[in-house]
């Protein structure tokens, strides 16, 4: 490994570091991997490809960095997080452009929502740690106080969809709690993480508090999660990868959280505002369906099926597929050719199984766009109903009554999110309580308090993120008990 100023490459006019950040220095690797843009599959950059030696160096740096960062007072850590948020806001356009080129996210959405949300994630946790008060009570002549202690180096593994926002969502509580971090972004969209790494240096984080390791998950990621010096692991990705990480975490008795996607039910009752529900249903195609929270299973009361479908088609027909840099574009390309082929494989197998492709169902020649697709399955056991596709593919099923709606909603192994559309407050509360999901929206979508718990049931995940739930995970919890002896 070679340590120095680091290699930089031009990405859409933005200078981006393409090495690892370890112990406050840019570190290269002898091997590299390329990242390409979903728009035309053009080459963007060649990124350092980490290996076992890289992982070892990063964890060693995080161990040293933990001593410095955990010694910061709560106020000092909060100030550093606010400085980082300021820098993110100042680089909004650059971050948005690089992520649009690297992953294909809509540029206007990145600028207006997701980069700002990244800054807000750091501000939220800066405020939470400064506002926190240790729980204290008296019992059995003892004064009891529950304290949080920083846990140690944390490995943070983030996904390729919305990588900047989801990285900040995981990094903010880990850093706020006083842990050093080793951040491993997904190899399909690694560039915005490099810009974030650069900003941590500008924000004055001590060397080793934040470390960035680029590379292939099966290589450097596997080495990171297996290192016994790591004291926390948090991951967003597939259940298959989580099983490997979970085994490594268990071997070292390391707490592990995972957010693993979903197969969200989108339940529409006959008394719902059908146009609002149909419009929102069509917008489940947002980001080409590469959203874990999307309501991909449309469950519609049988008596309104035809009217709902007519309205759904009207709204879906209005969606514009195009270049994500164009403000007129609604639907961007899929992130990678391998993923396009995976999505199309689900649709082809559904056809072979006799499921009815109501609309779409084909890739668009010469691009990574995929037609917004709706499938009516012949059975609730159909693969397209039971497995996460993570593309612009929805299914449509009907139900006869509330009991059947709940049964269908709960009929997969997943349980990340759900949507219920109804005009009845009592039904909303009744069905909302019966649906097994970590998050249930009623008559809305993607509106959330960042201090609320977030996570899934079943194979959608382990543990909860958000607010104090994430801070508790990234801490070792201590109970201090002092004898209340008033005679001394």
Catalytic residue of the set 198, 219, 292, 388: 292
> Catalytic site residue 352?
no
Give a three-class secondary structure readout of the chain.
CCEECCCEEEECCEEEECCEEECCEEECCCCEEEEECCCCCCEEEEEECCCHHHHHHHHHHHHHHHHHHHCCCHHHHHHHHHHHHHHHHHCHHHHHHHHHHHHCCCHHHHHHHHHHHHHHHHHHHHHHHHHCCCEEEEECCEEEEEEEEECCCEEEECCCCCHHHHHHHHHHHHHHCCCCEEEECCCCCCHHHHHHHHHHHHCCCCCCCEEECCCCHHHHHHHHHHCCCCCEEEEECCHHHHHHHHHHHHHCCCCEEEECCCCCEEEECCCCCHHHHHHHHHHHHHHHHCCCCCCCEEEEEHHHHHHHHHHHHHHHHCCCECCCCCCCCCECCCCCHHHHHHHHHHHHHHHHCCCEEEECCCECCCCCCECCEEEECCCCCCHHHHCCCCCCEEEEEEECCHHHHHHHHCCCCCCCEEEEECCCHHHHHHHHHHCCCCEEEECCCCCCCCCCCECCCHHHEECCECHHHHHHHCEEEEEEEEECCCCC
> Catalytic site residue 259?
yes
Catalytic residue of the set 99, 259, 388, 465: 259
For the annotated catalytic residues, the residue numbers are 259, 292
């Amino acid at each position: 490994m070679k340590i120095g100023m680091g290699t930089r490459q031009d990405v859409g006019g933005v200078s981006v570091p393409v090495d690892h950040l370890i112990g406050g220095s840019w570190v290269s690797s002898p091997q590299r991997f390329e990242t390409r843009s979903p728009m035309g599959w053009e080459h963007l950059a060649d990124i350092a490809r980490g290996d076992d030696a890289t992982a070892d160096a990063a964890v060693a740096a995080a161990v040293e960095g933990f001593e410095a960062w955990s010694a910061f007072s709560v106020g000092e850590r909060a100030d550093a997080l606010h400085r980082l948020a300021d820098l993110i806001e100042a680089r909004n356009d650059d971050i948005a452009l690089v992520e649009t080129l690297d992953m294909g996210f809509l540029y206007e959405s990145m600028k207006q929502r997701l980069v700002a949300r990244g800054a807000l994630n750091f501000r939220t946790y800066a405020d939470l740690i400064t506002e926190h008060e240790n729980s204290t009570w008296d019992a059995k002549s003892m004064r009891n106080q529950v304290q949080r202690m920083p846990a140690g180096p944390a490995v943070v593994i983030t996904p390729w969809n919305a990588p900047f926002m989801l990285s900040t969502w995981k990094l903010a509580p880990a850093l706020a709690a006083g842990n050093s971090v080793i951040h491993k972004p997904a190899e399909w969209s690694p560039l915005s993480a490099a810009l974030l790494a650069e900003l941590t240096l500008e924000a004055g984080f001590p060397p080793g508090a934040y470390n960035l390791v680029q590379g292939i998950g099966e290589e450097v990621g596997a080495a990171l999660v297996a290192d016994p010096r790591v004291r926390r692991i948090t991951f967003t990705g597939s259940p298959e990868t989580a099983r490997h990480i979970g085994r490594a975490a268990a071997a070292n008795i390391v707490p592990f959280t995972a957010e693993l996607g979903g197969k969200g039910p989108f339940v529409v009752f006959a008394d719902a505002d059908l146009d609002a529900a149909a419009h929102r249903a069509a917008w489940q195609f947002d980001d080409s369906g590469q959203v874990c929270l999307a309501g991909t299973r449309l469950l519609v009361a049988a008596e309104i099926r035809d009217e709902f479908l007519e309205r759904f088609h009207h709204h879906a027909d209005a969606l514009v597929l195009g270049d994500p840099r164009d403000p007129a574009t609604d639907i961007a390309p899929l992130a990678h050719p391998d993923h396009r082929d995976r999505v199309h494989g689900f649709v082809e197998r559904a056809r072979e199984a006799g499921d009815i492709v109501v609309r779409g169902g084909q890739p668009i020649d010469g691009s990574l766009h995929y037609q917004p697709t709706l499938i009516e399955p012949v059975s609730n056991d159909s693969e397209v109903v039971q497995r996460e596709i993570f593309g612009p593919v929805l299914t449509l099923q009907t139900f006869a009554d509330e009991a059947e709606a709940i049964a269908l909603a709960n009929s997969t192994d997943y349980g990340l999110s759900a949507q219920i559309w109804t005009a009845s407050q009592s039904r909303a509360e009744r069905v909302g309580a019966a649906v097994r999901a970590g998050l249930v929206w009623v008559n809305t979508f993607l509106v959330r308090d960042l201090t609320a718990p977030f996570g899934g049931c079943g194979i959608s995940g382990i543990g909860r993120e958000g607010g104090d739930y994430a801070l508790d995970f990234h801490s070792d919890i201590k109970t201090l008990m002092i004898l209340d002896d008033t005679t001394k």
